[in-house]
Amino acid sequence: MVEKHSIEVENKRKSRSWGRVLLVLLIGAAVIAASVLTILKTLDHFKKRSGGHKANMVKKYADALEVALQFFDVQKSGKLENNRIGWRGDSALEDGKEQGLDLSKGMYDAGDLIKFGFPMAFTATILSWAILEYGDQMEEIKQLDHAQQSLKWITDYLINAHPSPFLLYVQVGDPELDHNCWQRPERMTEKRPVIEVNASFPGSDVAAETAAAMASASLVFKKLNSSYSDFLLMHAQQLFTFADTYRGSYSVSSSQAQKFYNSTGYGDELLWAAAWLYHATADESYLNYATKMNGQEFGNWGNPTWFSWDDKHAGVQVLLSRIIMIGAKEMSTEENLELQMYRETAEAFMCQLLPDSPTATSSRTPNGLIWILKWNPLQYSVASAFLAILFSDYMVASHTTTLYCYGKFYSPDDLRNFAISQADYVLGQNPMEMSFLVGYGVKYPEYVHHRGSSIPVDSNNGCRDGFTWLYSKSPNPNVAIGALVGGPMFNETYADSRTDTDQAEPTTYNSALIVGLLSALVSNSLVAESFT
């Protein structure tokens, strides 16, 4: 019995030993499998980020970017250089002459022939941001030079529009006169008065936005033309001082602004300008201005809003998040806490964009397009996508693997996929099977609300008789290549009608935003680690 018991004990001991060995082997196998899975995921993520997959998608975005950049040439005012648009010629050569200034350059903002300084400066700021973050991708497909030239065409104008520290010309042309005419810019004959802001009639919003444009552009040209960059930075600093010292909205100072580009406040522009000046100078006073001094009052912390030519809050929040995510220098705990408020609000904005997030916005069409207003709805779709892809790349660059949205976690690729969904919708993956980027794809708008595009080059029509072309049943004789039109209605229909300004009118700021988005998608690579 003792011997039998000993044998049973020994057998159980051996059984337990083999069990332990088997358990160790199973655990080891699981660890190896998990490691392999992690490696595969990492390789797949790297492959995605380095542009190693879906080469046809990359080409699609590259082709679309080449088209989109041409709209800036369509919109140029002044004596044209290296003109790529055969149906465009010199125009508005006398702008600013009565003031002893050369305001001939710049760009018409949309389908009309007015140069509105507020949205034009925003166009320059966004175009600068796109170049700073994704200039390498632009260069890969030989589009960087075009982007830089378009930016300089605007900043040359903005420099001339700021002849003294507390004076800024913010508009050229009378909108009432202009909207009573339908003519090519090359044939304009009506008077083109200018509007200014100054110490007595302030415009903190437009002055600060122009400061942001100058500061961001100074970074673009820093290595290309250091003296020009320094000149831009000087103007940016002067304009910021002007905007902050003489606070007031240009919409109050100018009744015309209330009708066409009414500003809903200037606090966001002051923060926007300060953030860009901090990046351009590394001067802590600008960061202090945006955080300790004015963050609580103007930062809109905890209350995400939609990014546009008028509301810069979401842009400020993403741009300042960049500092703590991939910034190059250490900051005090107090500054980090205040910057964290910007980052948390930026994250809340991102959570709104993700379609299956607990806080996902309902402001989207049945097929997923962000849709806020019936006038120029694509501005908000593309602006949201541009900020989403920036934040996604900031996450990757800072090794931030997850975004927390009220109980659910998301990856940088979730944000990137959202941005792709918006870009693809714009480029033709929509119920209308139409590209809203004119000149891209097999089907795009043919009746764009755009004077120069709608009138034949050899037409002798003047101011009033040109309306024949507005109401013509024929497609536009000149393709406004690169124009991103207003876009579809909420029910995902599009009336390709020249008289529908909500849907059929393009804008330069739409173009700047789509250029930024497409540049980010060209090669699926990361943002620049540093602007300097």
**Alpha carbon 205 to chain centroid distance?**
18
CB atoms within 10 A of CB 310: 20
Planar angle of CA 470, 475, 478, nearest 5 degrees: 90
Active site residue 449: yes
DSSP assignment string, 410-457: E-HHHHHHHHHHHHHHHTT-STT---SBTTSSS---SS-S-HHHHS-T
**Alpha carbon 372 to chain centroid distance?**
16
Bridge partners, residue 455, by sequence = none
In contact, 395 and 389? CB cutoff 8 Å? no
In contact, 135 and 224? CB cutoff 8 Å? no
Nearest C-alpha neighbor of 501 from the set 515, 519, 487: 487
Report the C-alpha gap between 175 and 193 in whole angstroms. 10
Report the C-alpha gap between 347 and 420 in whole angstroms. 19
CB atoms within 10 A of CB 451: 23
Residue ranges of alpha helices (H) inside 110-143 are: 117-140
**Alpha carbon 443 to chain centroid distance?**
25
Tokens describing residue 305: 């809003």
Report the C-alpha gap between 379 and 308 in whole angstroms. 7
Query: Length of the chain, please?
Result: 532
In contact, 349 and 317? CB cutoff 8 Å? yes
Which of the 8 DSSP states describes residue 107? B
Active site residue 112: yes
The catalytically annotated residue of 73, 109, 112, 393 is: 112
Helix (H, G, I), strand (E, B) or coil at 360: coil
The catalytically annotated residue of 146, 235, 449, 450 is: 449
The catalytically annotated residue of 186, 496, 500, 502 is: 496
Sequence-distant (≥ 6) Cβ neighbours of residue 523 within 8 angstroms: 50, 51, 58, 137, 140
Active site residue 335: no
Active site residue 496: yes
From residue 123, how far is each of 72, 154, 209, 242, 424 by CA, in Å? Answer: 10, 9, 10, 21, 22
What are the E-state strand segments in 9-156?
115-116
Nearest C-alpha neighbor of 489 from the set 373, 395, 323: 373
Which of the residues are catalytic? Answer: 112, 449, 496, 505
